[in-house]
Chains A and B, each alone.
Chain A
Amino acid sequence: MNSTEQNARAEQREIDASVKWPVLVFLGSGLLWLLLGGVFQLAATIQLHTPTFLADCAWFTHGRLAPAAQNALVYGWGMNAAFAFGLWLMARLSATTLRHGGWLFVAAKFWNLGITLGIGGILAGYSTSFELLEMPRYVGLLLLVAYAIIGVWMVTTFSIRNTENVYASQWYLFGAAFWFPWLYSIAQMMLIRTPVRGVLQAVVNAWYLQGLYGLWFASIALAAIYYFLPKLLGKPIHNYYLAPLAFWWFVVATALAGGSRLIGAPVPVWIPTFGIVASMMLALPLIIFCLNFLGTLAGRYGAVGGSLSLRFMVLSIAGFLLSSALGLLLSLRGFAAIAQFTLLAGLRDWLMFYACFSTAVFGAAYFFLPRVTGKQWRSTALIQAHFGATALGIVLMIVCLGAAGWQQGHLLNDPAVKFAEITRGLAGWHTFTSAVLGVLLIGHVAFLINFIWIACPINSQGTAAAQIAPPPALGLAAKEGHA
């Protein structure tokens, strides 16, 4: 190891140390929400096949519990996890320490206070009933202020970068840092503060959902994939020169594709049509992503088994491609006529949020937690359990929701079938979904236990100081600098 490399390694350790506490706080709160949201989601799914379950308590009626679960998962787990990972990766790639991280604790406090009040508000009956904006109006401002601090830290870390080049992951992180507050504040204004009239509310809601999944969660996951594939495989991204084209094409088309969620809806017909065209335009960046990711993986699949983070990244790539493919299918009118309003339509967002985004963060966490804490994972068995449960859960969920949704759509389109028959036919699938959610929950508990062991400053007994093997040398062209 020559002295340049030693310097680089010392610099990385310094960066990792500077983000340690913000990362642990965000990820820790995220994991608690992941568990709570998972329990809520499981309970809400049980209600679908056993409607009497918790039905007599107004707080836990299905119409409140299901959105509460969704919000806990998306804003509690998803956003916190994205903050933790995004701040770490931005500091690493910008080759600069995270300055004045104390403010981020304030932000974390307010963010999680906001989510707590919001989930409580939904359960108590103050829901707005707009998908993923159900949290009552008093929460919006709190979340935006908390986010502002986090977003500013993300952007300033980028702007004081010590690197010549800006890597693909940074484009996505930088973009996401701006898109979320704009999307959220516009949606809050147009739906809750000064609501627009009639079906325009549905248009704003669809536009927001598309942005949240496509521009925020997908962006964070893509940032992770672009970072970890070359890092862990020791080879540059295949056809990297296409990545800027994919970035711009992907974000513009995604931002415009919101209307594709409104096929057949009572809105002026150009809105879904425009959305369909934008969705179809996504085919090109998808091809480039395939070239970039699968091309980099090509011939190195043997290496995937050896790296836990890589295994999660491969899941994430699969989740991203499947979710995008399903999005394309759902924007075909013929397919939408069957799949719209069924469990299959819900699968698209679940895949993007869970199979793509969450697995990317899991994979990243297995990489960065030992580095920021300087400790090793304590239990290999729990790691295996987590990965196994996640992989199995994702496969089963795809099979289950896919088959159930397809069946549901065909039955719905057959006017001779009574509605009660459809519900009866779905009951078995709902039971299956509950079991799959249970499997995923086991994985999350395993991860949480390991997280507590590695993150807890006391009780480090048995946790050896990490001997982190240097990642494989990157045969990179000079212009693709990685911190």
Chain B
Amino acid sequence: MKNGLILFLGVFATMVLSWAGVVLAANKQIGTLPQFKDPVDESLNPQPYSGVANQGRAVYQDLGCATCHTQQIRYGDDGADIKRGWGERASYVRDYLRDETTHIGQSRLGPDLRNLAKRLPSGAEAEYLYKLLYAPDSKLGGEPLARGMPAYRFLFEERAITGNQPSYKAIKLPSSHAAPAGFEIVPTPRAEALVAYLRSLADTYDYPTERGLNAPAEVPKEGGKEAPKEGGKEAPKGGGH
């Protein structure tokens, strides 16, 4: 190879091929995917995050939670994601339409969080999450709440109790981690946003049109590029619990 021009054209073609073949083709297929309108109750799915939860997504992003946590459930054959109870079904492309920034993650030093909201103790979700963030080493039945997870105390404020009772926002802590007498631990707005986000992490709607899209390739016909099998064999379940 002596000719610089041919080298350049080849180098350029490689990049174009790779960009068009992987990124652009994917964009063509799913770049304009709309929300799914439920034929029964006419709800649009996935439903967007609330404003506070969306702020919490930004906190999740800036704290780099995705360094140790994934947000994706793989199909049954790929690992034990479903058996571990991290989700009832594999994640679909459409589930992520509500995520302004998508962090599916590449490391599972911590558990998957895609459906965290479904695993929280019912009735005490926020309380549990605040305790988890402030004192992950506090004991629950002899075991730390989350082994190996760092505490996020900088998301909380320790302040003197004003008046004769603690603020309604003050978090409940076991005696090992409680604030000194006369003080209370209160979540900052960032902690509140993060908890709102974590509480809304759940893919509750099962899209009938979506199932084939990223299912394992049983019939290898250029990999599911075609429209997924329609026909609504199973009626969509209602959104939410």
Contact = CB atoms under 8 A, between A and B. Distances in A.
Partners in one complex: yes
Contacts of A61: 63-64, 150, 152, 154
A342 B108 contact: yes
Contacts of B85: 415
Contact of A200 (B2, B27, B100, B147): B27
A413 B84 CA distance: 8
Interface in B126-176: 136-137, 143-144, 146-154
B79 A252 contact: no
B180 interface: no
A127 B64 contact: yes
A126 B62 contact: yes
A360 interface: no
A294 B77 CA distance: 39
B95 A166 contact: no
B14 to A, nearest CB: 5
Given A164-B2, A166-B4, A427 B67 contact: no
Given A63-B63, A166-B1, A426-B109, A333 B84 contact: no
A273 B223 contact: yes
Interface string A237-272: 000000010001001100110110101111111110
Contacts of A165: 2
Q: Is the interface of A mostly helix, strand, loop or mixed?
A: helix
A51 B154 contact: no
B78 A337 contact: yes
B235 interface: no
Nearest to A271: B26
A259 B29 CA distance: 15
A55 B151 CA distance: 6
B23 A51 contact: no
A58 B156 CA distance: 11
Nearest to A158: B4
Interface residues of A, number: 91
Nearest to A345: B106
B92 A266 contact: yes
Contacts of A424: 147
Interface residues of B, number: 86
A179 B11 contact: yes
Contacts of B65: 63, 129
A407 B182 CA distance: 47
A268 B79 contact: no
B79 A203 contact: no
A199 B102 contact: yes
A51 B151 CA distance: 8
A341 B60 CA distance: 19
Contacts of B108: 341-342, 408, 412
Interface in B103-119: 103-109, 111
Interface in A125-176: 125-131, 134, 158-159, 164-166, 171, 174-175
Contact of B23 (A174, A207, A248, A266): A207
B238 interface: no
Given A266-B104, A414-B80, A48 B148 contact: yes
9 contacts: A48-B148, A61-B63, A63-B68, A64-B63, A67-B64, A122-B64, A178-B12, A252-B17, A268-B29
Please give me the 9 A-B residue pairs with the lowest Cβ-Cβ distance, nearest first: A63-B64, A270-B223, A255-B18, A264-B74, A264-B78, A198-B96, A266-B91, A341-B108, A415-B83
